[in-house]
Amino acid sequence: MQKLLLVSMALLGLGAGIAAQRERTASIPSGNTPLVSNADALAPVPRLPDGRVDLTGPWVGGGSNADIEREGGLKPGELPLLPWAKQLRDNRKEQNEPYTICLPMSVPRINPFPWKFAMSYTSKGLTHIYVLHELGDSGAHRVVYMDGRTHPVDPLPTWWGHSIGRFEGDTLVIDTVGYNDKFWFDSRGTPHTEQLHTIERWTRINFGTLVNEFTLDDPGTFSRPVQLKFTATHIRPDLDLMEFICAEDNQYGIAGGFQPAQPDK
Amino acid sequence: MRKLVTVVGIVAIVVPLLAQAQAPVDTGVLGRVDALGQEVKRLPAPTGPPPRLADGTIDLGDGIWVSRPFGADIGMGLKSGDVLPLLPSAKALMGSRKPADDPMVWCLPLGVLRYSPYPFRFIQNYTHRKPTHMYILSELMRTYRQVFMDGRRHPPELDPTWFGHSIGWYENDTLVIDTVGFNDKGWFDRKGTPQTERLHTIERWRRVDVGHLVQEVTIDDPGAFSRPFTVTFQAELSNPGDELIEYVCNENNQYGIASGVTPAQPAK
């Protein structure tokens, strides 16, 4: 009985929370993030002392948000959804999206929040790349193993899956498996299964532009693998990600058009 | 009204957490459940000279760290015989706090000093402008702290935040992190030792050998303490192959190496 009471309290509360969060997501003033100037955007790609492309960012964009089909460059109806998946997508309500209750957005949904690649250089070289999101607890950090390891045979399904990366010339290639089936690709509700396998190919084509050639493969959801393309834009270079705690709904962050306080000149 | 609705939502998320916290002690395959790593058998941390980056800096980022003792009481880090110089107002606030008020059980950040029992990791990010940021990642909630290493100063006026505004530099082999701009919501420990927005911390991190990292923190908060004081904690390097794993607090999924689960291993 006590358990039942707890569960029903939790459900009631979550329902009410979702209503409030729906209001919040609808009101996120996205698109206000200050971007690099047009002139600077065309500057050459900066490189590290070892010659490698600097992919750090911060970036905004480069993934899905409202509709992965449209934003990934496909025409309406071109996404080869299996019948069950199409039905599920069409029945989902935007306000039920997991990220609106502060659960992770996962791949390739990063918008409208800014993010960056944090390169972990250690005495063993570049061993990990972390993707840091401004959307604190809901985005937080994603790890990409760069030390040459392979995927585990039987990974426990997680929100972020198991990501391994490598450079092919100037392109960072990230291969991920081991996802859970809980997150949505977009607020439209495009679903996937635990069979999801993604390959991201990130290429910085000039100072201000980072292209994500994205392979989406999930035989549980799509009748064939699909190739999508997203583009991220560099944020004004003097800005840093700000603290945004989703569980507090505090709405700070450069995503909301705020700017970090500046040091004394 | 909207605020009230949101609060109800948060309470609902927390209810299962509290239910879990108050459950009778249970024993699982790894030992006591909810013991958060205390029962996990680990190899002793290695000794020997710490590794260095190509530029000669001590490498803090080649593994993950677990702080001991645990975050029960910040006073455990004082020199023996020393006591926390709590102001009467701070003492009264502490006395009124209940375990269920701990921000951690609401899936809010632990702040800058309270890592344990969750493992953490330093990320020395290099850009074409050299090392500009140090990030400190925590397994709990997957939060990250950012420390500006590019020589900037604190802004004169900051919006108070959980992690504050941190600037860092090296003094010989010691990483020094100076932080202001905290909010007053964080707890230093599970006892509820409080902080105010006047908090200023200076952390000094020394990797004394491969396996040991000493964290010496000077805490200056005239709003909560009658004088500055220093606490010292030690972290140990986790076993080779350990990685931070996914722990989504809002789901209360309790994964993570803090709870004794080890990451799946690649195919041989």
The pTM assigned to this predicted structure is 0.83
pLDDT of residue B190: 87
Closest CA to A66 of A128, A111, A100, A105: A111
A130 vs B157: CB contact, 8 Å cut-off?
A: no
pLDDT of residue B18: 43
* DSSP class of B234: E
- B79–chain A nearest CA distance, Å: 33
Alpha-carbon radius of gyration of chain A: 19
pLDDT of residue B11: 38
Contacts of A162 in chain B (CB under 8 A): 264
Is B23 in CB contact (< 8 Å) with chain A? no
For residue A163, the one-letter residue type is S
What ranges in A28-177 are assigned the alpha helix state H?
A: 38-41, 68-71, 83-91, 136-139
Mutate to test the interface with A, among B121, B127, B158, B242 (most CBs of A within 10 A): B127
Task: Mark the ranges of chain B whose per-residue pLDDT is less than 50.
Answer: 1-23, 30, 33, 38-39
Is B169 in CB contact (< 8 Å) with chain A? no
3-state helix, strand, coil in chain B (%, to 5): 20, 30, 50
CB contact residues (below 8 A), chain A span 106-145, against chain B: 118-124, 127-128, 130, 132, 136-137, 140-141, 143, 145
* Other beta carbons less than 10 A from residue A13's beta carbon: 20
Q: What is the dihedral of CA A216, A219, A221, A224, to 10 degrees?
A: 60
Instruction: Report strand pairing: A197-206 vs A125-133.
Output: unpaired
SS3 B141: helix
Burial B192-231 (b: 16+ CB within 10 A, else e): bbbbbeebbbebbbbbeebbbbebbbebbbeebbeeebeb
Closest CA to A255 of A117, A113, A136: A113
Helices and strands in chain A, H and E counts: 5, 9
B125 vs A159: CB contact, 8 Å cut-off?
A: no
CB within 8 Å of B146: residues ≥ 6 apart:
A240, A241, B133, B134, B135, B163, B166
SS3 B192: coil
B155 vs A262: CB contact, 8 Å cut-off?
A: yes
Crossing angle (nearest 10°) for helices B2-22 and A2-27: 140
Could you identify the residue written with the tokens 């200023």? B200
Residues in chain A: 265
Task: Say how many CA atoms lie within 13 Å of A212 toward its Cβ.
Answer: 27
- B142–chain A nearest CA distance, Å: 5
Residue of A nearest to B51 (CA): A123
Distance CA(A108)–CA(A23), nearest Å, equals 23
Contacts of B257 in chain A (CB under 8 A): none
Q: pLDDT of B99-111, one tens digit each?
A: 888 888 888 887 7
Asked whether the CA dihedral B223, B218, A260, A212 is positive or negative, the reply is negative
Is A26 in CB contact (< 8 Å) with chain B? no
SS3 B5: helix
B266 vs A151: CB contact, 8 Å cut-off?
A: yes
Distance CA(B125)–CA(B178), nearest Å, equals 18
Task: Mark the ranges of chain A whose per-residue pLDDT is less than 50.
Answer: 1-29
End-to-end CA distance of chain B: 57
Distance CA(A34)–CA(B237), nearest Å, equals 40
Contacts of B107 in chain A (CB under 8 A): 102, 137, 247
- B74–chain A nearest CA distance, Å: 24
B265 vs A152: CB contact, 8 Å cut-off?
A: yes
B255 vs A241: CB contact, 8 Å cut-off?
A: no
A247 vs B108: CB contact, 8 Å cut-off?
A: yes
- φ and ψ at residue A142, rounded to 5 degrees: -120, 140
**Which class for A194: exposed (0-12), middle (13-18), buried (19 or more C-beta within 10 A)?**
middle
CB distance A120 to A126 below 8 Å? yes
